[in-house]
Amino acid sequence: MSTSTEGGKIFLVGGGPGDPELITLKAQRLLQTADLVVSDRLIPQQVLDLVSHELRIARKTAGKSDQAQDELLDWCMEGLKKGQTVVRLKIGDPLLFGRGGEEVLWFRERGYEPILVPGISSAFSAPMAATIPVTHRGVADQVIITTGRGTKGSMPNLPDYHPTRTLVVLMAVGRAADLEKILLEEKKYPISTPVSWVENANCPEERTVYGTLENLAKMVEEQNIVAPAVLIVGLSVGILNT
């Protein structure tokens, strides 16, 4: 399949974790040259400032994410039908909990093959910002990345405890109490398992809070942790932060 049926091109671009210096050179070039950039609402302003031409940003639609998604895709199609180069800008990496795969299929159904441009996900950049090695010789030899928000708001199937495993949870703030309960009671994590919340990773307002799993929800309440924040769980959290 060609990338275009009517002269337009669609790029599905990862906007990285927040710091404009952490986007790829290709992403930067596309933001500066595209006729139209259609952006997720979570993209920080410092990244949006790189856009040179028309920019459209997702509207706030509380509880209506599907409606907002439809509008974003419709905007992309408007540009494509005009023969424009369109960038669909997504936070982090489009194919890691970013609905990127769904968008590829959506554009294919309409005759367009998106060109994929990867981005750095906060699943990897947030632990590094907090000086947490998600793998470390003799401590952690595996990493599992999951989300606190499963299909239609359900809780995803969390992994059982293993002492050499690091668990990274995206979109977890609103499910802190559920995560704490499931990991402790069902997945048999020790109450003393080190945890860290990394809020606004790679942004000027970045903040890191450390604690243990038994206080996971309490940390959110007492420290006023807000989204976007990445949760890291496992012994690797304390290796470089003791």
- Answer whether residue 216 shows pLDDT above 50: yes
Q: How many percent of the chain have pLDDT more than 70?
A: 95
Which tokens go with 223?
Answer: 């420290």
pTM value > 0.75? yes
Give the pLDDT mean for 223-227.
Answer: 96
The whole-number pLDDT of residue 152 equals 72
Q: How far apart are CA 128 and CA 137, in angstroms?
A: 16
Helix axes 100-109, 65-81, angle to 10 degrees: 50
| pLDDT tens profile 36-63 | 999 999 899 999 999 999 999 987 665 5
The Cβ of residue 77 has, within 10 Å, a number of other Cβ atoms equal to 17
Beta strands in the chain (DSSP E): 9-14, 36-39, 54-57, 85-90, 115-117, 142-147, 165-170, 194-199, 207-212, 229-233
Run of H or E including 168:
strand 165-170
Vertex 31 angle, CA 26 and 35, to 5°:
125
| pLDDT tens profile 89-122 | 999 999 999 899 999 999 999 999 999 999 999 9
Give the pLDDT mean for 202-219.
Answer: 96
First CA to last CA distance, the chain = 53
- Answer whether residue 5 shows pLDDT above 60: no
How high does pLDDT run on average in the chain? 93
Q: Please tell me which residue in 9, 19, 40, 93 is annotated as part of the active site.
A: 40
Q: How many percent of the chain have pLDDT more than 90?
A: 86
Cα dist. 191→31, 177, 230, 234 in Å? Answer: 46, 14, 20, 11
The whole-number pLDDT of residue 62 equals 59
- Is 128 an active-site residue? no
- Is 60 an active-site residue? yes
Which tokens go with 139?
Answer: 């401590």
Q: Please tell me which residue in 77, 128, 155, 171 is annotated as part of the active site.
A: 171
Spell out the SS3 assignment of 14-54.
Answer: ECECCCHHHCCHHHHHHHHHCCEEEECCCCCHHHHCCCCCE
Q: Please tell me which residue in 1, 60, 66, 152 is annotated as part of the active site.
A: 60
The whole-number pLDDT of residue 61 equals 62
- Is 49 an active-site residue? no
- For 114, which DSSP code? P
Q: How far apart are CA 143 and CA 182, in angstroms?
A: 19
| pLDDT tens profile 57-72 | 987 665 566 788 889 9
